[in-house]
Amino acid sequence: MTAIDHNSLLASTQLVIEQALQRLGYGQDMVDLMKEPLRMLTVRIPVRMDDGKVQVFTGFRAQHNDAVGPTKGGVRFHPDVTEEEVKALSIWMSLKCGIADLPYGGGKGGIICDPRRMSFGELERLSRGYVRAISQMVGPNKDIPAPDVMTNSQVMAWMVDEYSHIREFDSPGFITGKPIVLGGSKGRETATAQGVVMMIFEALKVRGIALKDARVIVQGFGNAGSYLSKFMHEAGAKVVGISDVNGALYDPEGLDIPDLIDRRDSFGTVTNLFKNTITNEELLVQPCDILVPAAIENQITEDNAHQIQASIIVEAANGPTTIEATKIVTERGILLVPDVLASAGGVIVSYFEWVQNNQGYYWSEEEVMQKLQQLMTQGFNKVYETHQMKQVDMRLAAYMVGVRKTAEAARYRGWV
């Protein structure tokens, strides 16, 4: 057997997919089908920059598996986007949709760029160019993009407008995460954070920990992390630590979250305003009840897993805990709620947006949150029951629940 690079998102994802399918009784043919996307498109996007020069950007779109239905997943703008990362994230989207029982397969897209160094006009031209480049393989019944890292409702608005020009009819269901006035869903902006909070509540229940004054550390203070901190603070928990790319703040008595949110910039940085900061690495091992990695991948590793002092880890980021670290924290009795379950709120409310677009009838935010709560809680219960019944860690349990629907659909179609 070839050596596995456990720090590689794709390799580690494929390893757990294989374990999950084997546990479910599928053969190697199903593993071979599920470990890679069915389609992977690489595009080159020429953009006229503000200085008059043309810069060519590289973009990707992966469609993991459409046996269940259209593929679904975000588009990220980031300088470190890679083909391998996009492939792994498309597989995770299939798992999220399976856990939430949505009629989708997983998709994912990305463009290698740094939006922090681009003007508004340059970002618009890049967004529209990406849609033109991938327009043949996306659509409301084929593949439905959404916001992701460093993209937002404005980027989605440009993309849906460009798609409507290409198709010559209004297609609000082509993309989700749109502004409300263009067919977006109420509750979509905060959906990922709300879903994570719901999973924290469920984890606290099974661990018998009271929410009031529970100590929470949130690594990352971007869109998801700041909303998470706000919701937990408002619920009565004590947020004792937060971090951004510049460093971290920790106070065992609790941080003033509303003040930090008011002072953060548009990229979620606030720690540069303080002198008594610690590093992100130091924050992860501080005492707390709930640790929420909401930043980037591979933050909890075999090097620091033994030092984690939390009772519960809830992964809001993609892949923050390595396979080895998952094993270590599980053996130490820490309850880990994996990313494919904890961060499914975004795709669930994206599904609600797509449904509302298709039927032309829009729901109140209360109705959206009620439906989100129902699907997130059902997902947690299925994963936790599998974890207990099959005596596997929560990550493998989530993969088993998540991959089953797509595997069964592929089997019924006669693909394997």
What the block records as the tokens of 6 is 């456990």
> What is the torsion angle, in degrees rounded to the nearest 10, for the CA atoms of residue 408, residue 410, residue 414 and residue 416?
-90
Nearest alpha carbon to residue 321 among 385, 396, 211, 233? 396
| Residue ranges for the chain with pLDDT beneath 70 | 1-7, 169-170, 266-267
96 is in an annotated binding site: yes
* Alpha-carbon torsion (270, 276, 278, 283), positive or negative: negative
Tens-digit pLDDT profile for residues 59-68:
999 999 999 9
What the block records as the tokens of 45 is 């996007």
72 is in an annotated binding site: yes
127 is in an annotated binding site: no
Using DSSP's 3-state secondary structure scheme, residue 372 falls into helix
pLDDT of residue 1: 37
7 is in an annotated binding site: no
Which letter does DSSP use for residue 116 in this model?
G
| Distance of alpha carbon 288 from alpha carbon 13, whole angstroms | 28
| Distance of alpha carbon 205 from alpha carbon 208, whole angstroms | 5
- Catalytic residue ranges: 108
Residues with Cβ < 8 Å from 84, sequence gap 6 or more? 8, 9, 10
223 is in an annotated binding site: yes
pLDDT of residue 295: 82
* Alpha-carbon torsion (200, 206, 207, 210), positive or negative: positive
Residue 373's alpha-carbon distances to 139, 174, 196, 202, in angstroms, are: 28, 25, 11, 11
What the block records as the tokens of 330 is 């599980």
